[in-house]
Structure 1
Amino acid sequence: MKLYSYPACGTCRKALAWLRDRAISVDPIDITRQPPTLEELGQALEQLGRKRLFNTSGQSYRALGSAAVQAMDDGQALAALAADGKLIKRPFLISDDGRILTGFKPEEWQEALLAP
């Protein structure tokens, strides 16, 4: 599994600790240095919709502006996300079966990663 995260993000650290406590191994990737690919972001868009992809509380999003993001078509939105990892809601996890999770909600992660 790949886990795109930001080392200074408290939510990302909580997610990593949660995974570690459950002996779930991930390949941690600094989202600011290596954002998810356009293909991965496209899969996330299909699975989650645009609203779950953007880090709306981050500086990059505020600098860009909500109106500008809403005015983008999907291709423009994906290109913006791929160009600036801080725009992406994190942590951004891609499971081995291709399921994508954004943000960290323990109950959602429990169901997606540990349910039979």
Structure 2
Amino acid sequence: MTSTPPETPAGTPGGTPGGTPHETPRRTRRAGAFDIRLVIALLLGVYGLVLIVLGLGFTTDDEIDRAAGVNINLWAGLGMLIAAVLFALWTWVRPLRVPEEGGDEPAE
């Protein structure tokens, strides 16, 4: 009596839909600077810092009165800065993996 290795379900390491469980995994690398989440984090961070500077240094009492007593530039800037940090953390915690160039052919 021979034993056969158990089938690996699709979506787990070693198992692919329509493939065999013993296929060679493709080599991947991190996307790095090409990850769109980093671009979004950079833009939100820059705009957030600009709004914080405007809210702290250049907002008059008349503008605050027109905004129902809220320094909206400061609060919007803080919100954008927090969102930028969350996007950057998301990129760090769950990096985007892309296949390496030339990974389909074995090295000779």
TM-score tier by shorter-chain length is under 0.3
What TM-score comes out, normalization by structure 1 length? Answer: 0.22
What TM-score comes out, normalization by structure 2 length? Answer: 0.23
Give the structure with the larger strand fraction. 1
Q: Return the index of the structure with the highest Cα Rg.
A: 2
